[in-house]
Structure 1
Amino acid sequence: GGFVDFLSLTMDQIVNQAAKLRYMFGGKGTVPIVVRAAQGTGVKLAAQHSQSLEAWFAHIPGLIVVCPSTPADAKGLLLAAIRNPNPVIFLEHKMLYFVKGDVPDGEGLERIGVAARRREGTDVTLCSYSLMTHRCLEAADLLGQRGVSCEVIDLRTIRPWDKAALLDSVRKTHRLAVVHEAVRSFGAGAEIAATVMDEAFDELDAPVVRVAAHDIPMPFNDTLERETVPTVERIVEAVEKLA
């Protein structure tokens, strides 16, 4: 493991070699490797040590990208990643190293590509992963006090991602906000929003909203860092415009 920012030094091996070898050999060879990397903000490590780069890797066919949000998922998905015959980029948010939670005895194996519904709701779907799942849950609590019922879908993996689970939720709530800590432009939220509008446009009562980091290098100053990435307040504000 190490900072995701410096996986840039290994991009040839990951993108041109590991991601492609199984295809190039007609499935006769496998590349069962797991690359663990820490990413995200919250500890004032500035522009070169605070990025969220999941979209880089999710863009590459042949790579699996995992972004767990709970201790149980960190265990269950890591075991699944180790057993997968394909290269897996396993992204661990720095602030989640401090989170405590129940972890099942035994393997507690989780399936890659299956989302988790963290909260049931009827008015708006909040779709996220990693640390931002927790921000969405906080926002859902506040919105619930204001009469807005939010469903929270935690993707857990973004390549592959659980399109069916999200579409089922959107067909129930008819509104969607996608929240991620990575910068807004060309992020996972854009792909998710486009897919939902392609496949469930008639189910939407409002355009899909994206809540993401501003398109700037991450500041060192802690106040500026907090204001760069989605806050609970920004999520609430975005949902209130939808609801």
Structure 2
Amino acid sequence: MAEIFMFDALREATDEEMSHNSSVFVLGEDVGYYGGSYKVTKDLHAKYGDLRVLDTPIAENSFMGMAIGAAITGLRPIVEGMNMSFLLLAFNQISNNAGMLRYTSGGNFNIPIVIRGPGGVGRQLGAEHSQRLEAYFQAIPGLKIVACSTPYNAKGLLKSAIRDNNPVILFEHVLLYNLKEDLPDQEYFLPLDKAEVVKEGSQVTIITYSRMRHHVMQAVNSLSKEGYDPEVIDLISLKPIDIECIGLSLMKTHKLIIVEECMKTGGIAAEIIAQVNDNWFDQLDSPVIRLSSHDIPTPYNGTLERATVIHPHQIIESVKNLVAL
């Protein structure tokens, strides 16, 4: 076991897969000599050279299209978005090409591409650098979407994503790169379609993902001292959603809170509520509580920025109110 940062866990996963398979390569803005904006590709350029760690121009639609073309020919590209917000410029390539070419080619082409990078509300990065794009991409057919929340699952998810024959988007939160955790010395992989039960409980189910996992656990630690017993599920897979895991939890608790950093309108929580109503409505004893970010561009002002997202005290209040019903 070795304690490492999350950015190092992602770098290790990339390095291991590049060593394992010569068809794996990395491309993006400043991934080479600079080592990536958050050091996920640090030192990989010196090890693998220009042809496998490619610095690209500031032209997201162009290098995304190049990566998809490379995937069609049998290579396995990893595209780093310097900030995931910038990948809106490549939305056409991701949706119409990466997501659909396997289908529109009649199965003649696989698209084994990984799209990864930082996103989320950081520390006064401004509206255009604080995007949460999971809801934008969640509706696109053909994509798999995962969100890491710890160094352990970051490494295991990225290794699995690189070996998958489908396009996978891996969301990393800009404020989680400096998390530290002990990782196994032996190789491991994690499934791309399963949620994680972080804490078992009996009173209420709390579903969350990415950075909000840590806000939820702060709240749960306080609640546990007062005798409350919530169950916590880290969604991890945003597409497909592990609705079976959620359903099994609701069979115990019959109450549900969803905590997300995504915007409320059309967010991931909205999709979970729809699927719960379709599949597990009879297990609910009360309406689902949705704790989401405000539907506004993220303010640059630090105080206003903090006010747009959910914090532990709001989760604590919601759990107490729901359990009291």
Q: Fold match, TM over 0.5?
A: yes
Amino acid at match of 1:66: V
Kindly indicate whether residue 255 of structure 2 is the aligned counterpart of residue 175 of structure 1. yes
Corresponding residue for 2:302?
222
The percentage of aligned residue pairs carrying the same residue is 46
Structure 1 residue 155: Cα displacement: 1.1
Q: TM-score with structure 1 length normalisation?
A: 0.97
Once the two structures are superposed, what CA deviation does each residue of 1:12-42 show, in whole Å capped at 9, x if it has no partner? 1101111000011222210011111211113
Structure 1 residue 99: Cα displacement: 0.6
Contact residue 177 and residue 209 of structure 1 kept, 8 A? yes
Corresponding residue for 2:18?
none
Corresponding residue for 1:61?
141
Counterparts of 1:113 and 1:105, CA distance in 2: 24
Once the two structures are superposed, what CA deviation does each residue of 1:147-167 show, in whole Å capped at 9, x if it has no partner? 221110011110112111111
- SS of structure 2 residue aligned to 1:57: helix
Structure 1 residue 116: Cα displacement: 0.7
Corresponding residue for 1:202?
282
Kindly indicate whether residue 105 of structure 2 is the aligned counterpart of residue 25 of structure 1. yes
Counterparts of 1:181 and 1:155, CA distance in 2: 13
Corresponding residue for 2:159?
79
Contact residue 79 and residue 107 of structure 1 kept, 8 A? no
Corresponding residue for 1:158?
238
Contact residue 40 and residue 93 of structure 1 kept, 8 A? yes
Counterparts of 1:98 and 1:224, CA distance in 2: 24
Once the two structures are superposed, what CA deviation does each residue of 1:80-123 show, in whole Å capped at 9, x if it has no partner? 10011111111100111011112122321001111111111100
Greater mean deviation of Cα atoms: 98-107 or 121-130: 98-107
Choose between structure 1 and 2 for higher RCO, CA contacts under 8 A separated by at least 6 residues.
1
Contact residue 67 and residue 156 of structure 1 kept, 8 A? yes
Corresponding residue for 2:318?
238
Greater mean deviation of Cα atoms: 70-79 or 222-231: 222-231
Structure 1 residue 44: Cα displacement: 1.1
Once the two structures are superposed, what CA deviation does each residue of 1:138-183 show, in whole Å capped at 9, x if it has no partner? 1111222232211100111101121111110011111010111011
Counterparts of 1:106 and 1:9, CA distance in 2: 38
- SS of structure 2 residue aligned to 1:144: helix
Counterparts of 2:185 and 2:194, CA distance in 1: 21
Corresponding residue for 1:49?
129
Over aligned residue pairs, what C-alpha RMSD do you find?
1.0
Runs of 4 or more above 6 Å deviation: none
Kindly indicate whether residue 114 of structure 2 is the aligned counterpart of residue 34 of structure 1. yes
Counterparts of 1:234 and 1:197, CA distance in 2: 24
Structure 1 residue 134: Cα displacement: 1.0
Counterparts of 1:27 and 1:92, CA distance in 2: 30
The structure 1 residue matched to 2:268, chosen from 188, 205, 216, is 188
Corresponding residue for 1:145?
225
Q: TM-score with structure 2 length normalisation?
A: 0.73
Counterparts of 2:92 and 2:281, CA distance in 1: 38
Amino acid at match of 1:131: R
Kindly indicate whether residue 175 of structure 2 is the aligned counterpart of residue 95 of structure 1. yes
- SS of structure 2 residue aligned to 1:110: coil
Larger of the two Rg values belongs to structure = 2
Kindly indicate whether residue 211 of structure 2 is the aligned counterpart of residue 131 of structure 1. yes
Counterparts of 2:208 and 2:106, CA distance in 1: 34
Amino acid at match of 2:195: A
- SS of structure 2 residue aligned to 1:212: strand
- SS of structure 2 residue aligned to 1:102: strand
Amino acid at match of 2:235: L
Contact residue 119 and residue 153 of structure 1 kept, 8 A? yes
- Unaligned 5+ segments in structure 2 are 1-79
